[in-house]
Amino acid sequence: MADRLKVIAEPKRLLILHLLMEGVQCNCELGDALQMPANLISHHLAKLRAAGLVDAERDAVDSRWVYYSVNRTALVELNAAFEAFFDPARIKPRRPTCGPQALIVASDVVTSK
């Protein structure tokens, strides 16, 4: 979970992901939009690909060009995992096991209040 979050917790990568969702695709276009050198885009795209969030596909006519796209399945899975972990309903009430509160609770048990 932390690994996946780290990948998307980087500002530039978030922007790249955003642009990919908007339909932007190739390295050069991302570079123009984000004012970043191509090699840096490559670096971030590699991380996004390693995380399975982004797919790459070469052009059928001119294979020098690579088109990137967001992996919809991975995004769905990410959403599910995030929602499961950060679900507010998971918050349990206080369970004092140390400090003065723990003693009070313990005495309640003893006196059967």
Partner DNA sequence: TTTATAATTCAATACATGTTGAACTATTTT
Partner DNA sequence: AAAATAGTTCAACATGTATTGAATTATAAA
Per-residue exposure over 43-73, b if at least 16 CB sit within 10 Å of its own CB, e if not: ebbebbeebebbbeeeeeeeeeeeebebbee
Q: Per rule CB under 7 A, is residue 99 in the interface with DNA?
A: yes
Which partner in a copy of itself, DNA, none is near 44 (CB below 5 to 8 A by kind)? DNA
Report the C-alpha gap between 85 and 79 in whole angstroms. Answer: 10
Map residue 55 onto helix, strand or coil: strand
Q: Per rule CB under 7 A, is residue 15 in the interface with DNA?
A: no
Binders of a copy of itself among 52-91, rule CB under 8 A? 59, 61-62, 65, 67, 69-70, 72, 75-76, 78-79, 82-83, 85-88, 90-91
DSSP secondary structure code for residue 89 in this structure: G
Identify which of residues 24 and 36 has a Cβ nearer to a copy of itself in the complex.
Answer: 24
Which residues lie near DNA (CB under 7 A)?
6, 10, 12, 26-28, 36-47, 56, 61-66, 98-99
